[in-house]
Structure 1
Amino acid sequence: MLTKFVFLQLNLQKKVTHVIVIGGVDYRLQGEIEEKTVSKPKQHCVTKTSAVKKLKFFLRNLMDLNLDNSTLNFHWSDKEVYWASFSHKSKQETSEHLFYKGFLNGRGARQGNRCLVRVKKDDCGEKTYWRRHFRIIDLMHQITDLFNKSVLNEDYLKVITPHLAQIDNVSSFNKICTWNGVKEFGREEFVVVEEYLDEMLDELIYDNDYSNLSALLEALSHFSFIAMREELLFCNFHGEIRNSKECYVTCSTVHSKKQEFQDWGDKGIAGITNFFTQHKCNKWCRKIWSSTDNKTIEELEKMNKYHC
């Protein structure tokens, strides 16, 4: 892809503004001009600031420009090894995370597929930071599996499993454009890579009678609250139906009574209350109660021993 670069210099009130236009987006570098009197009268010299030096560095390394960020290799499965490449500009953000669209590169059937890269927003996402994230994912797997067994009676809903990867190469734009809403990656930065879901398919009728995906996923949220003894609620599920027998889901929000999951958009009791204020129980919710047998109760007891 051919990228167009336009460089302008504007002199306004003793400030130098360098404008770099890349793909229709402009990145501005501003630097103060310091005036120093030299031996000859009425002559001045200009001391360039760090912003100008960054522009010089950018121009010197124009041929070696890295447009994308990339990770080191990580194992997707026993037979699949990938590394992810993604843009310098995030597509979506929450209070805790930035989300980037990227691609999988490497060895395996998913090579060339789109992926979603989750990044810690403000600070460096070290490996230890993501531990609780993966513990929540593990709990989500347990709840979904139990919902499949006790309510659906088949292994229909599958939770998308994320993968931890370390940053390798950093985009040149991330290095020089951090004030323009661009993430500045640390040396030991880790990110989470997962499959990219297309737009949620709300209404799709087919043989197994899951005619309304949104209603089914709301019932899963309701079930999660019951499974966690009304201490924790998984909500804002998104799903993608890939064939008549499987639906892959991911969850973006977790609310808890103690409000201890800020990186999941946790609004505490207010978030739980808001969900049930808008929620209308459907046939899948009603089936939760009719299918709760002794075996299910035993599994719920085991699950509640899990400590986040």
Structure 2
Amino acid sequence: MGSNQSNTTKVIGSTSEWVEFEDDWFSQGVSRYAYKGTFHGNARTEGERCVVKVYKDEYLVHLKDYAWKVDDRVYRKAREMAQLFNARYKPSTATEFVAPEFTKVDKRATFYFLGFIPFERNVKGKIAGTRDNVSNIIPANASIAVERFLEGDYVKYSSNTGYVNPDFPAPTLAAFSHFTYHASNGEFLVSDLQGVYNRQGFCLTDPAIQSGGSELNAHGPTDLGKYGIVKFFQTHNCNKLCKGLKKAKISKVTPGDKVVLDNVLQNMPSTQSSTTYTYQLNRKSGLPNDAVEHVQNNLTLDAVAECSETDEPGSDSNSDDQNENKWFKSLGGTIFRLWKLISWSR
């Protein structure tokens, strides 16, 4: 599978299953390194490929077990929403999220021996192209998430800042994100959709949840809160699956907060596929963190239905003039048809 698999995990949950994984990560985010691994200890999955995501030591220092627990909560909410979405729309291509299992690093072959002299193994460092001691990259007893390997071409369909992949627009997934805001009544929105498309449909991993509450980062470092929700609807194009779904509408914001909101939104990269982290909101906008958090705490978003089930996306279902005009046209057509029947009967 690549580099030497010298690392193992503790058993997963109450099962006998465990994982062996490589020395060198193939991808990394702000909080985890991703390694290729293999399942063992279970006849059903023996030898199958998986992905092991090791939480970085510097990330765990502050969050400890909260780090993996918040990720577990994000996955659970995303999976629940996917089940509701599939049940409601019954799309030809289902949407699902992988179900990670959480455990810890067990044995690490930390040393190799030259004669009788032990040397700590070198593995891929924190930056690509560098090497470091294994103990600095895969800490003893580190928390990890284990996911089954996704077969197919991996695609980043959307980001948490309004980006939509122009080569793979995936209207079903765009509608899914919109649906999560509607179904949660504005409490959150699932975004940052990535994964593979195969015979089962869309199989996704590493989603982000944008919180509609008063706290940034409530769902981990990719939770951009109300900024992420507003940005999503700024770039989202509704499709037929979005009929009847509520949208976020700013109902209360002070002039000062509006300046901060607009500044942050302008600096959220909707044309880039990369994931944005909460701490980057103030860095990219050049605003104090207190100002960014103040808007999250005080901005009021309402979940408002802007389209009815029978209206085309984008139509103004609240327009009395438009509805009245439709009624008169319908009435006029009925009268005309009755007049023709009476005329023919004579």
Is TM > 0.5 for Structure 1 vs Structure 2?
Answer: yes
2:118 counterpart of 1:118: no
**Compared with structure 1, are the counterparts of its residues 81 and 270 closer, same or farther at alpha carbon in structure 2 (3 Å cutoff)?**
same
Match of residue 219 from structure 1: 175
2:108 alignment partner, SS class = coil
- Find the aligned partners of 1:249 and 1:93 in 2 and give their Cα distance: 17
1:96 equivalent among 31, 37, 44: 31
Q: Distance in 2 between matches of 1:202 and 1:84?
A: 26
CA distance in 1, matches of 2:190, 2:206: 7
Q: Aligned in 2, Cα 1:259/1:230: closer, same or farther, shift over 3 Å?
A: same
Deviation at 1:146, TM superposition (A): 1.1
Task: Flag the 1:291–1:107 CA change in 2: closer, same or farther, 3 A.
Answer: farther
Query: Matched residues, percent identical?
Result: 23
CA-to-aligned-CA distance 1:135-157 (integer Å, 9 cap, x gap)? 22222222111111222278933
Q: 1:199 is matched with which residue?
A: 153
For 1:137-152, list aligned pairs within 5 A.
Answer: 137-152=75-90
Contact 2:177 2:191 survives alignment (8 Å): yes
Q: Is the 8 A contact 1:95 1:263 kept in 2?
A: no
The amino acid that maps onto 2:22 is S
Distance apart, 1:194 and its partner CA? 0.7
Q: Report what 1:69 is aligned to.
A: 7
In 2, the alpha carbon distance for the partners of 1:177 and 1:248 equals: 34
Q: Which ranges of structure 1 fall in alignment gaps of 5 or more residues? A: 4-22, 24-65, 204-211, 293-308
- Check conservation: 1:255, 1:271, Cα contact below 8 A: yes
2:125 pairs with 1:180: yes
CA shift, 1:97, in A, is 2.2
Amino acid at match of 2:25: S
* Amino acid across the alignment from 1:180: G
TM-aligned CA deviation for residue 101 of structure 1: 2.1
Q: CA deviation at 1:235?
A: 0.8
1:69–1:88 CA contact under 8 A, matched in 2:
yes
| Gap runs ≥5 in structure 2 | 112-118, 127-131, 158-167, 246-306, 311-346
Q: Deviations over 1:161-207 (max 9, x none)?
A: 1101221122538955489325533333221101122324799xxxx
> How many pairs were matched up?
218
1:30 aligns to what? none
Report the RMSD for the aligned CA atoms in angstroms: 3.7
Instruction: Report if the CA contact (8 A) 1:90-1:98 is conserved.
Output: yes
Separation in structure 1 between the aligned mates of residue 44 and residue 198 of structure 2, nearest angstrom:
16
Check conservation: 2:71, 2:219, Cα contact below 8 A. no
1:224 positional shift: 1.1
**TM-score for both structures, normalised by structure 2:** 0.52
Q: Which residue of 2 aligns with 1:250?
A: 205
TM-score by length of 1: 0.58
CA distance in 2 between partners of 1:233 and 1:115 (Å): 28
The change in CA–CA distance for 1:67 and 1:152 in structure 2 (over 3 A counts) is: closer
Is this contact kept in 1: 2:243–2:308, CA < 8 A? Answer: yes
